[in-house]
A and B are shown apart, each in its own frame.
Chain A
Amino acid sequence: QQQVKQSPQSLIVQKGGISIINCAYENTAFDYFPWYQQFPGKGPALLIAIRPDVSEKKEGRFTISFNKSAKQFSLHIMDSQPGDSATYFCAAWDSGAGSYQLTFGKGTKLSVIP
């Protein structure tokens, strides 16, 4: 059972455009949602994270939008650049589960073309 569904699987965006990646979850106990960026041959790097008590969090060109009622959250990359081309993973965590294990989405490969 996939607990975090991520879409699209791949995304091509023109330089300067907005990249949008969506994630949906089923477990209402999830209360922490990080996004990771992974370049080929490297480990994932924490990009930005949000808790469900806020609907939006912005850090530079990266924004997380969170819709608790719909159990969805999304990553927006404004003014996308070729250097943003990478695979992005959303994740979720239940702080009350007694484990620090993150549940990951399947990833979205973003390609930003000049």
Chain B
Amino acid sequence: GAVVSQHPSWVICKSGTSVKIECRSLDFQATTMFWYRQFPKQSLMLMATSNEGSKATYEQGVEKDKFLINHASLTLSTLTVTSAHPEDSSFYICSARDDKLLAGGRNIQYFGAGTRLSVL
């Protein structure tokens, strides 16, 4: 099946530093990728929609300047948490929509394994 690689899987950083998380679709092209945040025992909270070659669309309440998203190619989107603080500690997950699997009204999205961010 389709694979989405998310790296790193776990990162610990000091408060005030920036952390970059990569999301790659390994065997398909993804014009659209999504970034989610998940708190323990809770559902996925959509942070932003990442579109190749254009600016990301952020959900209400998500700070654009804090969570920088870049989608420079059809297989790679990055999320940079700038000036991270302890309250940014969370599980971040990306998903990628397979450009080819649109027939029949489908919306096939594959998720990465997630990145656990711990800010000290």
Contact = CB atoms under 8 A, between A and B. Distances in A.
A106 B45 CA distance: 10
Nearest to A10: B41
Interface string A86-114: 00010001010001111011110100000
B6 A43 contact: yes
A82 B106 CA distance: 30
Interface stretch (B11-19, B63-71, B76-84, B107-115): B107-115
Contacts of A45: 111
A109 B41 CA distance: 9
B113 A42 contact: yes
A49 interface: yes
Nearest to B2: A46
B18 to A, nearest CB: 23
Nearest to B49: A101
A76 B43 CA distance: 20
Interface of A: 31-32, 34, 36, 41-46, 49, 51, 89, 93, 95, 99-102, 104-107, 109
